Chain A
Amino acid sequence: DAKTTQPPSMDCAEGRAANLPCNHSTISGNEYVYWYRQIHSQGPQYIIHGLKNNETNEMASLIITEDRKSSTLILPHATLRDTAVYYCIGLSGGQNFVFGPGTRLSVLP
């Protein structure tokens, strides 16, 4: 499974788009990129995942670069409730989701 690196923290103004980067330069061809977030004192919550193509759901968009070495999670209109720690995870044949320290996103009023 790929090692991922993320910035430790980011700020975003309420109502603006939050763009959270993730570097996964060692990702293999069959490895999915998953994003989760964790709001204080709660269990992690699934956001989105993708393999090659960009993905969008009701929560976010996931943009994966053509070489698949990095990706960006986009929250189009961040709200105060989006303040959380965001985790980027690479998963392939192994069944083990490995979490790093993630990015602490603070949405500011």
Chain B
Amino acid sequence: DTGVSQDPRHKITKRGQNVTFRCDPISEHNRLYWYRQTLGQGPEFLTYFQNEAQLEKSRLLSDRFSAERPKGSFSTLEIQRTEQGDSAMYLCASRYSTGELFFGEGSRLTVL
């Protein structure tokens, strides 16, 4: 499968714990995006990378959130000291410069 891959697909954690999500984009895509989606809402933009550079961050991305794309390939999104309000689907997407955005299946986080 050469699509966008996300891991894990589901994560249940206790409040206060740290979690990390990984995204492997389509190999030739230089742009990588993270979105968050809560029930009944459209995806909300969090951040995007062009190669390894993080070019834009949403105000939604609090200090507890950090994203990296160290070699311009895969990316990680870490949430520190999780809160119940962080429960959501975290979606990764990639594209090559211009054109359509391809999404992964998402990582669903539940914070107890």
Binding site for B on A (CB under 8 A): 34, 36, 42-46, 49, 85, 87, 95-102
Contact = CB atoms under 8 A, between A and B. Distances in A.
A87 B35 CA distance: 15
A33 to B, nearest CB: 12
18 contacts: A34-B101, A43-B103, A43-B104, A43-B106, A44-B93, A44-B101, A46-B100, A46-B101, A95-B31, A95-B50, A95-B55, A95-B56, A96-B45, A96-B48, A97-B93, A98-B45, A99-B35, A101-B41
Contact of B91 (A44, A46, A98): A44
Contact of A87 (B42, B93, B100, B105): B42
A97 B42 contact: no
The listed residue with most B CB atoms (<10 A of its CB), out of A34, A42, A43, A98, is: A43
B105 A42 contact: yes
Chain B binding surface SS class? strand
Nearest to B42: A99
The listed residue with most B CB atoms (<10 A of its CB), out of A45, A49, A95, A96, is: A95
Interface residues of B, number: 23
B21 interface: no
A98 B33 CA distance: 12
B48 A95 contact: yes
A43 B102 CA distance: 9
Contacts of B4: 43
A12 B40 CA distance: 20
A49 B95 CA distance: 14
A87 B93 CA distance: 16
Given A43-B93, A44-B91, A99 B101 contact: no
Contacts of A101: 40-42
B76 to A, nearest CB: 18
